[in-house]
Structure 1
Amino acid sequence: MSRSVNWKAALIAGGVAGVISGLVKLGWENVLPPRTPERNKTNPPQRLLEQAGIPEKVTHATYTYSGEQLPWVSYVIHFGFSTSFAMFYSLAGHYVPMIKMGDGTLFGLGVWGAFHLGIMPAMGTVPSAKDQPAEEHVSEALGHVVWMWTNDLIADEVYNKLNKK
């Protein structure tokens, strides 16, 4: 366990890593889409916001880029989730090194399992794990592994640079 942790550097490093890993996760989902087009008409971030009482006109708000309608509200939730977990991981890893086992890959699998197999199905945000297609499990599990591995790599590099190590 580290005795002297630069909290500011750890949180900045996690924030930077979270933005980059969020982009990696979006790219991953373009290669291995986790949901069918029908199920993606209202994606999990949109559904979660609707469950919180936010109207569809807000949850499905888009912007246009290169002729495509893109769900900016979903992206806010996506990057908020990514940066929050990356900042937690970056800071907590200094105090509980065990969470960094496998360079973030095991932590990523844990986040996937907790949210995609447990919390979101229990809340009714996504179908129960047994009712999700195998392709969704593969995409999300591997995507979370790559996402957290990216967080581990980037956060460590940025933290070390900020501390000039």
Structure 2
Amino acid sequence: MVIEVNKINWGKSITVGITAGLVAGLVKLGWENILPPRTPERDQTNPPQKMLEQFGVPAQITHATYTYSGQQLPWVSYVVHFSFSAGFGVLYSIGGQLAPWIKKGDGVPFGIAVWDFFHLKLMPLMGTVPAAKDQPLEEHVSEFLGHAIWMWTIDALIKSKEESGK
């Protein structure tokens, strides 16, 4: 079954996608506190910071922080993290209506595909992270499972909105 583009409620789909993506972004950050994907040394410049620097954004901006509870937190990294998550929430919300097959497995295969494309292919190709073979096993485990749970969360939130009819 394929839905016609003109039958999509674009406003609702975008709003639900953004909301689901933001919540799932929180889930992914929580996951990374339980299973950190990178060593502290490799996280001194995390992938969002490194990618921005590759695009010419100065380190004083990419490493800008705010202080909360006595800790320095990388707000620029969070902007990238949540923008990515919200963007994929919208993509999944709309894409799942246009091509329902992407929602198979409650979003888990889609999340794993996002991990594979970005963490094993694109970012290593760009030099943002080491080649997949040079990344520690802990990073693969954390990112693989984290992306699966991240997209599962997006899928569950979108489904709950669809089922509630709101």
State the TM bucket, normalised to the shorter chain. over 0.9
One-letter amino acid matched to 2:3 = S
Q: Which residues in structure 2 correspond to 1:55-66 (within 5 Å)? A: 55-66=58-69
* 2:137 is aligned with 1:131: no
* 2:78 is aligned with 1:92: no
Query: Size of the alignment, in residue pairs?
Result: 163
Per-residue deviation, 1:95:
1.0
User: Where do 5+ consecutive residues of structure 1 fail to align?
Assistant: none
Cα distance in structure 1, aligned partners of 2:138 and 2:49: 21
TM-score of the two chains, using structure 2 as the length reference: 0.95
The 3-state SS of whatever aligns with 1:127 is coil
User: Where do 5+ consecutive residues of structure 2 fail to align?
Assistant: none
* Aligned residue in 2 for 1:54: 57
TM-score of the two chains, using structure 1 as the length reference: 0.96
Query: Pick from 71, 75, 90: which aligns with 1:72?
Result: 75
The 3-state SS of whatever aligns with 2:51 is helix
Q: Which residues in structure 2 correspond to 1:8-27 (within 5 Å)? A: 8-27=11-30
* Aligned residue in 2 for 1:104: 107
Ranges of 4+ aligned residues in structure 1 off by more than 3 Å: none
Query: Pick from 5, 10, 20: which aligns with 2:8?
Result: 5
* Aligned residue in 2 for 1:31: 34
Cα distance in structure 2, aligned partners of 1:80 and 1:7: 19
The answer to whether the 8 Å contact 1:9/1:159 transfers is no
One-letter amino acid matched to 1:118 = K
Query: Pick from 147, 151, 161: which aligns with 1:144?
Result: 147
Cα distance in structure 2, aligned partners of 1:47 and 1:55: 10
One-letter amino acid matched to 1:98 = W
Per-residue deviation, 1:7:
1.3
Per-residue deviation, 1:40:
0.2
Per-residue deviation, 1:157:
1.9
Cα distance in structure 2, aligned partners of 1:58 and 1:95: 38
Structure 1 residues 124-162: Cα deviation after superposition (integer angstroms, max 9, x where no partner)? 00000000000000000000000000000112223444x
Per-residue deviation, 1:96:
0.3
